[in-house]
């Protein structure tokens, strides 16, 4: 993968696949659930996942470039956590519903919503889904619930979607992501309590990056997160959030459990986000952990590791590196063109003040 020194974390700059990390990464592919995922995905599924990881990265690189060049003031990026979003989305069925957090933005375009909607929302253009009012966009036509700001609140919302699937006897699941810190909110507890009592087809991915804003996770929370599924009497799975096929396998399995009537499922995914809460607090986020901690997570960079594993697969033809480079270039060119289109909208389609109060619901 191409490195963008001006925008990528400094630990990525001289990134090369670490033999120890890759040995474990490849060994995991032979585990039964991961093998099942590989069989199900086939060559085209693996290509799509790779392209999805690249899309997620370039989407974020674009936003960071816009922040650095003064186009927008800040952005909420998922740098380092791409696999936990992309792997999950590629394990879903057509009628499933996703409730992403704002840093799982890739879930919107991996579920078919045009990526330009993300850029238009950031740029507040009048032709975007929120017509320039907000960057918390979603579209139920694509099964994407808007990633609202209130952390944890999408758990009860997605439990509601899961309840509707159950009542209508539709073979779909609802999935949402929640941070380790946000698992402590009342909303998460209420959503999980309802989902557990009604055995709803709900998957909650606990995206555990060991930090909530400027607060490091208390070691006691480590055990508590592991025990979460038990405490609700649910099935709990764990996965390496940086291993895109491990994430895929866990979500695929969780989906089977849910569709069998044995949901909900909580998946604990360990990962790490470079760059902190958002682009404005990178320096503060760096002060929370040691340099070695950042280096350790950089070695497990999800796109590079998957690319390195793919480059050893004979199915990519006689020159896997050239095939991967072509896929990366195609995706990058596409994202750049979408970004250009969104920037043009900023001039062509400013928000219309007369429509600002439309689509607002209140009681």
Binding-site ranges for ligand TPP (CB under 6 A): 149-151, 179-182, 185, 207, 209, 211-213, 277
Total number of residues binding Mg ion (CB under 5 A)?
Answer: 5
Measured distance CA(19)–CA(287) in Å, rounded: 29
For the CB of residue 75, give the shortest distance to Mg ion in the complex, in Å. Answer: 18
For the CB of residue 148, give the shortest distance to Mg ion in the complex, in Å. Answer: 17
Cα 270 to Cα 168, 176, 202: the distances in Å are 34, 16, 20
CB 183 within 8 A of CB 154: no
Judged by beta carbon, residue 213 or residue 325, the one nearer ligand TPP is 213
State yes or no: cis peptide before 264, omega within 30 of 0. Answer: yes
For the CB of residue 74, give the shortest distance to ligand TPP in the complex, in Å. Answer: 13
Q: Does 209 bind Mg ion (CB under 5 A)?
A: yes
Q: Does 60 bind Mg ion (CB under 5 A)?
A: no
Helix (H) or strand (E) holding 251: helix 244-259
Judged by beta carbon, residue 204 or residue 338, the one nearer ligand TPP is 204
Judged by beta carbon, residue 154 or residue 316, the one nearer ligand TPP is 154
Residue 150 contacts which entry, Mg ion, ligand TPP, none (Cβ below 5-8 A, type-dependent): ligand TPP
The residue number whose beta carbon is nearest to ligand TPP equals 179
Judged by beta carbon, residue 18 or residue 190, the one nearer ligand TPP is 190
Residue 270 contacts which entry, Mg ion, ligand TPP, none (Cβ below 5-8 A, type-dependent): none
Q: Does 81 bind Mg ion (CB under 5 A)?
A: no
The residue number whose beta carbon is nearest to Mg ion equals 179
Judged by beta carbon, residue 160 or residue 179, the one nearer ligand TPP is 179
Site string for Mg ion, 157-196 (x = CB under 5 A): ----------------------xxx---------------
Measured distance CA(87)–CA(241) in Å, rounded: 9
Measured distance CA(201)–CA(207) in Å, rounded: 19
Measured distance CA(50)–CA(206) in Å, rounded: 23
- Output the six-digit token pair for 308: 């390195």
Measured distance CA(207)–CA(341) in Å, rounded: 32
Contacts of 106 (CB under 8 A, 6+ apart): 52, 55, 56, 59, 78, 82, 85, 86, 89
Residue 224 contacts which entry, Mg ion, ligand TPP, none (Cβ below 5-8 A, type-dependent): none
Residue 182 contacts which entry, Mg ion, ligand TPP, none (Cβ below 5-8 A, type-dependent): ligand TPP
Question: How large is the C-alpha radius of gyration of the chain?
Answer: 20
For the CB of residue 256, give the shortest distance to Mg ion in the complex, in Å. Answer: 28
For the CB of residue 212, give the shortest distance to Mg ion in the complex, in Å. Answer: 5
Residue 80 contacts which entry, ligand TPP, Mg ion, none (Cβ below 5-8 A, type-dependent): none
Q: Segment contacting Mg ion (CB under 5 A): 120-128, 206-214, 278-286, 330-338?
A: 206-214
E-assigned strands of 43-154?
97-99
For the CB of residue 352, give the shortest distance to ligand TPP in the complex, in Å. Answer: 29
Q: How many CB atoms lie within 10 A of CB 226?
A: 14
CB 248 within 8 A of CB 40: no
Measured distance CA(197)–CA(10) in Å, rounded: 46
For the CB of residue 301, give the shortest distance to ligand TPP in the complex, in Å. Answer: 17
Distance of CA 179 to the CA centre of its chain: 11
For the CB of residue 182, give the shortest distance to Mg ion in the complex, in Å. Answer: 7
Measured distance CA(208)–CA(271) in Å, rounded: 6
- Interacting residues with Mg ion (CB under 5 A): 179-181, 209, 212
């Amino acid at each position: 993968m191409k490195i963008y020194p001006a925008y990528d974390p400094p630990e990525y700059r001289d990134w090369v696949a670490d033999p120890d990390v890759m040995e474990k990464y490849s060994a995991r592919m032979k585990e039964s659930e991961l093998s099942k995922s590989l069989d199900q995905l086939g060559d085209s599924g693996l290509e799509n996942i790779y392209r999805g990881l690249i899309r997620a990265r370039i989407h974020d690189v674009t936003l960071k470039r816009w922040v650095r060049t003064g186009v927008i003031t800040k952005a909420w990026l998922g740098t380092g956590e791409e696999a936990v979003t992309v792997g999950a989305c590629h394990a879903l069925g057509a009628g499933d519903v996703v409730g992403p957090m704002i840093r799982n933005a890739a879930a919107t375009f991996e579920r078919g919503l045009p990526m330009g909607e993300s850029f238009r929302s950031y740029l507040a253009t009048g032709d975007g889904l929120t017509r320039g009012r907000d960057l918390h966009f979603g579209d139920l036509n694509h099964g994407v619930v808007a990633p609202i700001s209130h952390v944890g609140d999408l758990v009860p919302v997605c439990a509601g979607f899961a309840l509707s699937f159950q009542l209508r006897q539709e073979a779909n699941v609802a999935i949402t992501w929640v941070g380790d810190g946000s698992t402590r909110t009342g909303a998460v507890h209420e959503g999980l309590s309802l989902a557990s009592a009604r055995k709803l087809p709900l998957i909650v991915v606990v995206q555990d990056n060991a930090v909530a804003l400027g607060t490091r996770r208390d070691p006691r929370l480590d055990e508590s997160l592991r025990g979460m599924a038990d405490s609700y009497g649910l099935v709990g799975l764990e996965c390496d959030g940086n291993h895109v096929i491990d994430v895929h396998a866990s979500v695929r399995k969780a989906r089977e459990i849910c569709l069998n009537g044995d949901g909900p499922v909580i998946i604990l995914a360990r990962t790490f986000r470079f760059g902190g809460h958002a682009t404005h607090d990178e320096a503060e986020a760096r002060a929370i952990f040691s340099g070695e901690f950042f280096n350790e997570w950089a070695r497990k960079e999800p796109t590079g590791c998957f690319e390195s594993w793919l480059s050893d697969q004979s199915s990519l033809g006689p020159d896997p590196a050239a095939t991967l480079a072509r896929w990366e270039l195609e995706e990058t060119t596409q994202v750049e063109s979408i970004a250009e289109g969104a920037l043009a909208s900023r001039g062509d389609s400013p928000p219309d003040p007369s429509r600002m109060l439309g689509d607002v619901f209140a009681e």
